[in-house]
Amino acid sequence: MNYNVPSVDQSDRRVPINLRQSGPTPVETLIDTRVRKSPYWELSMQAGCWRASVYNRMYHPRGYVPREEGGMMAEYDALVNDVTLWNVAVERQIQVKGPDAEAFVNYVITRDATKIPPMRARYVILCNEEGGILNDPVLLRIAEDEFWFSLSDTDLMLWLQGVNVGRRFDVDIAEIDVSPVQIQGPKSVDLMVDLVGPAARDIPSYGLMASAVGGCDVIISQTGFTGEKGYEIYLRDATQYAEQMWTAVLEAGERHNLKVVAPSHHRRIAAGILSWGQDMDFETLPFQVNLAYQVPRKKAADYIGKAALEAARDRLEAGDPPFTHKLVGMKLAGKPIDDYAPDFWLISAIEGGEPIGYVTSPWYSPELGTNIAMGHVPMSLTELGTELWIHLPDEYAETPGEPVRAEVVEMPFRPSVNPNQRELLKQKGLDAAV
């Protein structure tokens, strides 16, 4: 067992990525009161959830279809062919409300909050003063004086409250009793029309609509974690109305072959959508993970991390990158990867060589007929077509103990039905590396 991988240069990090290869190491998860159960937790159990992880200090369903019945690949089939319901209450909602809400939000995100109109959402990032990515939420602007941060996996509320201790913007910052579910898949439009009426068809990408589902007040967004057509339903007063809303969705979904499934990481990987904690963390700069478009050159207002990010961009343009590794997409050989990876699998530059990088998000793509992955490799190995070698566990390797060939390719790996902003910019030729 390899407990240390000194050949992977992590000299730019204070806390290196843990690259130890320990495998699944099965253990029983203790369900106790130190981790919160969402309003949909028991409903997920009723739907067949058999495993979970912890995300934002909340239990997060990660599997419904048993392995012997197809597991995650069966759930994927439901997503790409019909419509699926996900419990994503772990996306905690942090409300920023008050006269200075826009100014405060503009100070903590890298993008320009003044350009977000009410009842629209945006994918945004928040950085620390060194430019490291703290969180990459969807930001909902509910009103002129009200924003919701729909969080990825970090406790951003405490950061936001801490920022305001010194500056004292005239805002209130708190988690609110709003819990989302995702409705994802090609039949999601028809299901949403059945739930809230024909106006659902007119919600634009990242648009918002106030409505009711099963008599419960909700905000609906055309967003998701897949690249497929999809929506999120943000239930107000979720602690009280979770069962009522969930049941309404299930009943309306019967005619559309709705399935309750876990978040589809295999589909989000194909779309090039990042996952905080896997593909990036506090020590990752946006330029390392294809998020340069989130760092505008013309934002006049100051924001946290601005000086560090502008300095990092200057170094990149001068050919002196401030980091050792960059995220790339890869197609790789091996047996189909049909479940979550328990480790950051290692990458070598040559067959039989020492590891120099690591895989962050791998899975098998049925449409492409090959394994795909994101991973961090040295800057000198990021060009399209570069050959790499991936150290897969024996269950996926072609020959146990031997690495499989990989090639650096473009992301997204295949076109999205509902393209994200980076895909749209790429289509317009505006997806510059820096």
Burial class (CB in 10 A: 0-12, 13-18, 19+), 68: exposed
Q: How far from 33 is each of 43, 60, 146, 206, CA to CA, in Å?
A: 18, 14, 31, 35
Measure the CA–CA gap between 93 and 40, rounded to whole angstroms: 15
Residue with tokens 């990987």: 269
Residue with tokens 């497929």: 228
* 387 has binding-site annotation: no
Backbone torsion region of residue 347, taken as left when φ is above 0, otherwise alpha when ψ lies between -120 and 50, otherwise beta = beta
Measure the CA–CA gap between 86 and 73, rounded to whole angstroms: 15
Measure the CA–CA gap between 93 and 180, rounded to whole angstroms: 9
Omega prior to 412 cis, within 30 of 0: yes
* Cα 296 off chain centre by: 21
Measure the CA–CA gap between 359 and 39, rounded to whole angstroms: 34
Residue numbers belonging to the annotated binding site: 232
Show binding-site residues for substrate. 232
